[in-house]
Structure formats: C-alpha cells, structure tokens
Amino acid sequence: MLHWALVFLVVAIIAGVLGFGGIAGAAASIAKILFILFLIMFVVALVMGRRPPA
C-alpha cells in the first residue's frame, strides 16, 4: 500500500510540473489517503505484536 501511495505522489508531482492541476490534486489526495491507511495498518500491526508484511 505504501508503494501505491508513493506512485500517486510521483504522479501528482509530475502532473503539477506539467500544469495538469486537476489530475495533480486528485493524485495527491489519493496518495495522502493511502499513506494514512498504511500508517494506521502499521500501528495496528505494532500493537498486535505482529510484523508488517514484507
């Protein structure tokens, strides 16, 4: 999931540089949501005493 967050972040940066405002905003929003979900899942895994999947 972190991989997809980083992919959408890169897409947002490239779209922003090229001037595609709507696409950049949408990709940045998706990246932010995926990153937050990843962090929540990571914290839950730490609390449960299990290692996150590789």
pLDDT tens-digit profile of 26-44?
A: 888 888 888 888 888 878 8
Q: What is the pLDDT of residue 33?
A: 86
pTM of the shown model: 0.61
CB within 8 Å of 38: residues ≥ 6 apart: 1, 2, 5
Q: Where are the domains of the chain?
A: 2-46
Q: Mean pLDDT in the chain? A: 79
Q: What are the residues whose beta carbons fall under 8 Å from the beta carbon of 37, sequence distance 6 or more?
A: 1
